[in-house]
Chain A
């Protein structure tokens, strides 16, 4: 009986060792990071809205790693070293990715150790000189808009909105006050002014976050100016 017990211990030990060796892979260690820019200016989006896909071929079924850009237009993934293809699906984001509007080009990325890769994309419009200020219970935002894409893919402005929020995620999801100008009410795109009253903050805090977003007709995802913390 004692001998059998010893055998079991030896066998179990051997099994444990073997399984350790076989089953455990190295975790992915290479970080792929980057951001979306237009002529060096980072683009800003809504949280969890603009998605991208990463593909890696050669391992059976192909399927995408889906993720979304941060509000600051950045992305990051922890990956194994190898060759990946990145693409923003058609119709995602307030910008043109790659050369053509209809068939998006995938971009090949070689990941070998930590890799940083910034992308230049062509936004339909850009928000220029966003100025935000708080005073006497109001937040005032001014900006000008510049149309970047003017060819057949051009988009018209549906609305421009100023969002106030208690957190940095100022957007249609998270806001305490908004002020919107409809696109057809805009007379001068170089001189847009928005004004929203700050409601009572519960629980009280002596600052708010604000940012300006542009909604384009026929595009789901809005383009934002950088969020700003305003002390009251």
Chain B
């Protein structure tokens, strides 16, 4: 009886199972949205757009401090391995610096991203949301796609332009999916045309910083046109061997003028306010250095920023501040990863528009004694203090403590082997501090080994240097100052130096210069120099090195002596093959009037053993064998 009951029970339960199985197989999955579902809800569509925004590619990324400091603009003081990677190798790989894991600094080849943007553009047309939203999202994603192609163009020259989602038909012959590289001119033309079309499709909203607007499209157009123009002009004039006969690399020189005109027109549209009211950031005119630093950390109604890769505390943060903060009293026991070099610091002019080395010695070669540490940097471009934390300045209301040791009357140096070390000075009985708590200490890591810390993009908000909090400072992609300098460069190249002077002077006035440059002052060197100091550590320098074809002259592989360092400041092709530092010393000479004063010495770290050598093949990033073998229609880069 019991058995029968059990058997019956089992049979019944089988019945149940059979019935619900059918339904079970037809049940829609709860964790995957179908295309129709994803494109029927405005919030879902927006989240896809947000995903595409978050994947925008920047060569200089705040999420990885290593991307920011190459080319001897900074010394890598994070650890010995990274220092030796940057400063004991004279050549760059054709893909830049090896970050490990087959990841190199000058590469991106994310056609998955392009395909997903293409898919979005095809699917959003059929979306069942308001038409105005469809139009806006379409314009934004088209902008992101053009922006990504622009990044590819800067690294590789011509690349395959694919504007539809490709599908494989499993016929065994994938050759119809293999697109050859466009010419370098075509890809810049594509970016310029897209920007031109998008400027009327995107909203005019200068307060929107993280989403594409009309201003963003015009800024991209201006930058793409000026890059194409200078590539056309200088590649043919300086490095004609860096080209391919098919034009995949190399833009005909005849197109330079047209591109310069395009750049000037686009820049003027922004300056004239057709995209809304943008202006140079000037909320703090009494302290122009602080004002310049605030361009990057002040996210409250910032009139200068046109487009930024935005961050938000708790949701999307980066550790740039933690990596680079001054070490003494830092919020974590780390910092000082990037030390700006004297090579860059001395490029900031005196306020009378003259280039001069940082004055360490007088005409007789004797050291100059300074009462205060910061006196040596007096009367310089205010952007210096906004870009670099100088000895004698403060960060987060705390004075930085940068000094390398005591110098005695006979020239002997007394210093320590660790930050803030103590020694007994002659004639004393008690140990006292002989080196700054921020360094510099030769050979030690994570201190001001060049005598400076980085200020730009380093967040002054409390907690930003903590691993658990991090920073929400945004990475500025386009700002109004660049529009002005693009206009200045284009006007100069088109033979209107007076117009150029007008634009460049606006940027310089904000930096504290009171004597305007005249038309005769505007030279190629001036244009290149102004961009180098204004956009230091922002990313433009990499492309400036390439598009003006000056990199192989700046990094010519020749060891850089102190005389080399101090010569030719302000010249576009000034040699910068090794990172030099500037070390402050305190005078210990009781009874002498110089006691307690400061002297400075130029310093070359013994960790720097190689003089950088840019090969002509470095002007375009390597397309690696893996990519080449997948698509036989791709041609290799020149001189590689």
Contact = CB atoms under 8 A, between A and B. Distances in A.
Pair from one complex: yes
Interface stretch (B97-105, B515-523, B612-620): B612-620
B637 to A, nearest CB: 9
Given A90-B639, A172-B613, A218-B616, A64 B557 contact: no
Nearest to A171: B557
B88 to A, nearest CB: 10
A106 B199 CA distance: 50
Nearest to A177: B559
B50 to A, nearest CB: 37
Contact of B241 (A63, A172, A180, A219): A219
Contact of B629 (A63, A90, A91, A102): A63
B157 to A, nearest CB: 15
B86 to A, nearest CB: 15
Given A178-B558, A218-B616, A64 B625 contact: yes
Interface in A88-115: 89-92, 102
Contacts of A175: 559
Contacts of A61: 629-630
B245 to A, nearest CB: 6
Contacts of B611: 172-173
B268 interface: no
A220 interface: yes
B403 to A, nearest CB: 28
A165 B630 CA distance: 44
Contacts of B91: 173
Contacts of B559: 175, 178
B181 to A, nearest CB: 16
A131 B223 CA distance: 53
Contacts of A178: 558-559
A62 interface: yes
Interface residues of A, number: 17
B597 interface: no
B241 A91 contact: yes
A218 B241 contact: yes
B395 to A, nearest CB: 38
Contacts of A218: 239-241, 616
A219 B558 CA distance: 16
A134 B640 CA distance: 38
Interface residues of B, number: 25
B197 interface: no
A102 B240 CA distance: 13
Contacts of A180: 558
A64 B636 CA distance: 12
Q: Which residue of A61, A91, A180 has the most chain B CB atoms within 10 A of its CB atom?
A: A91
B628 A220 contact: no
A218 to B, nearest CB: 4
A7 to B, nearest CB: 37
B616 A220 contact: yes
Contacts of A102: 245
B638 interface: yes
B617 A91 contact: yes
A131 to B, nearest CB: 24
B610 interface: yes
B305 to A, nearest CB: 40
Given A64-B625, A172-B90, A173-B90, A220 B615 contact: yes
Nearest to A64: B625
A89 B625 contact: no
Interface of B: 90-91, 239-241, 245, 557-559, 610-611, 613, 615-617, 625-626, 628-630, 632, 636, 638-640
Q: Which 9 A-B pairs have the closest CB atoms?
A: A91-B639, A172-B557, A63-B625, A61-B629, A218-B241, A220-B615, A173-B90, A220-B616, A63-B629
7 contacts: A63-B626, A63-B628, A63-B629, A92-B640, A102-B245, A173-B91, A173-B610
